[in-house]
Amino acid sequence: MGEAGGSVNVQAVACTLHVEHNRNIIRVVKGLAMLMSTARAPQTLHNLFFAFLPPPEVATRILGQVADYDISGDTMLSDRLHITILSLVCYGAIPAGLIDQAAEAAANVRAEPFPVKFERLIAAQKSAFLAPGESLDALRMFREKLGFTLMCDGVDLKLVGRFSPHVTVAYQPAQHFNEELPDPVIWTADEFVLIDSHVGETRHDIVGRWRLRG
């Protein structure tokens, strides 16, 4: 009788171990599947930057003028034309809380609206862009004021090279030239925005917008 009971117990234990072993295998397989899925999914890179946007009618006129030149590159969409002011993230992930921190600082900037004027179209090796014929001092002063405010609030800036105001209109142009525009591009910069650009996705999300006011 005791032997029979012991035999039953051994079988039960063996059955339990077998079930638990199978469960462990299932857990491992699911874990590996999740890891493989994560590895296959590419991480989205971002550029986060402050910018001035031309009004829609000016953006349309810019592309109209560019069409008169044989650039034959990857032309920008009208709603992506901009002047970059300051960058916070370049080809990376956006740290948690950075957008809110930058937005809070930007809301404290005070400046009067000012005109911007671009008089040349330059097609170089990597891009074609509008360039000013003068230094755009008001734009530079605004950039310094915004940068100072951001740094005082603990926001890190990505400063790469010398600041050269421009409006990119195309990438990889087929022709290289430096021409004076017959009709200079002029508009009043009266608001600035914070843009989250999803690299490689032709996508700009405006995550903040502020009117200029003295």
Domain positions in the chain: 1-41, 46-211
- Token digits of residue 201: 């996705």
CA-CA distance, 207 to 193, in Å (whole number)?
A: 8
pLDDT at residue 73, as a whole number: 79
Q: C-alpha 149: how far from its chain's center? A: 21
Which residues of 38-126 form beta strands (DSSP E)?
Answer: 46-52, 74-75, 83-92, 114-123
DSSP letter at 20? H
Record the pTM.
0.79
The structure tokens 């915004």 sit at 146
- Token digits of residue 111: 């400046």
Digitized pLDDT (tens) for each residue of the chain, 214 residues in all: 444 444 455 555 444 545 455 565 556 555 555 555 444 556 789 999 999 999 999 999 999 999 999 887 789 999 999 999 999 999 999 999 999 999 999 999 999 999 999 999 999 989 999 999 998 999 999 999 999 999 999 999 998 788 999 999 999 998 899 999 999 999 999 999 999 999 888 789 999 999 998 7
Neighbour tally for 195: CB within 10 Å: 22
| Bridge-based pairing state of the strands 177-189 and 114-123 | antiparallel
91's torsion region: left (phi>0), alpha (psi -120 to 50) or beta? left
- CATH class assigned to 46-211: alpha beta
Quote the longest CA-to-CA distance of the chain: 108
Could you tell me which residues are beta bridge partners of residue 185?
A: 118
Neighbour tally for 80: CB within 10 Å: 15
pLDDT at residue 33, as a whole number: 54
Collapsing DSSP states into helix, strand and coil, what is residue 192?
strand
Nearest CA to 167 among 67, 53, 70?
53
Collapsing DSSP states into helix, strand and coil, what is residue 56?
helix
